[in-house]
Chains A and B, each alone.
Chain A
Amino acid sequence: MSPVSTASSAAIYDALKACDIRLISALPETWLVHLVRMAEDDPDMTLVRLAKEEEGVGISAGAHLAGVKSAMLMQNHGFLAAINGIVSCAQLYRIPLLMLISYRGDFGERDPWQTEGGAVTEDLLRALRIPYASLDRADQVAHRIRKAQTLALSANKPVALLLCRDLMWEDA
Chain B
Amino acid sequence: MKRIDALSAIYPALQDRVVVTIMGAVAAELQSLGHRPNFFYLQHAMGLASSMGLGIALTRPERRVVVLDGDGSVLMNLGGLTTLARYRPRNLLHVVFDNESLLSVGGFPTATSTGSDLAEIARAAGVPRTATIRTLEEFSRAFDEGVRAGDLTTIVAKVEATGPSTYVTGLSLLENRFSFQRWLAQPG
Contacts and interface: CB of A to CB of B under 8 A. Distances in A.
Please tell me the size bucket of the interface on A.
20 to 34
Interface stretch (A5-13, A48-56, A118-126, A134-142): A48-56
B59 A49 contact: no
A55 B79 contact: yes
A22 B44 contact: no
- The listed residue with most A CB atoms (<10 A of its CB), out of B20, B79, B83, B185, is B83
B44 A54 contact: no
Contacts of B105: none
B48 A61 contact: yes
Contact of B59 (A46, A55, A84, A93): A46
A46 B58 contact: yes
B181 interface: yes
B50 interface: yes
A66 B56 contact: yes
- The listed residue with most B CB atoms (<10 A of its CB), out of A48, A61, A63, A85, is A61
B21 to A, nearest CB: 13
B173 A93 contact: yes
Nearest to A62: B55
A22 B56 CA distance: 13
B42 interface: yes
A67 interface: yes
B86 A63 contact: no
Contacts of A57: 45, 48, 51
Interface string A86-97: 001100111100
Interface of B: 20, 40, 42-45, 47-60, 63, 77, 79-80, 82-83, 86-87, 173-174, 177, 180-181, 184-185
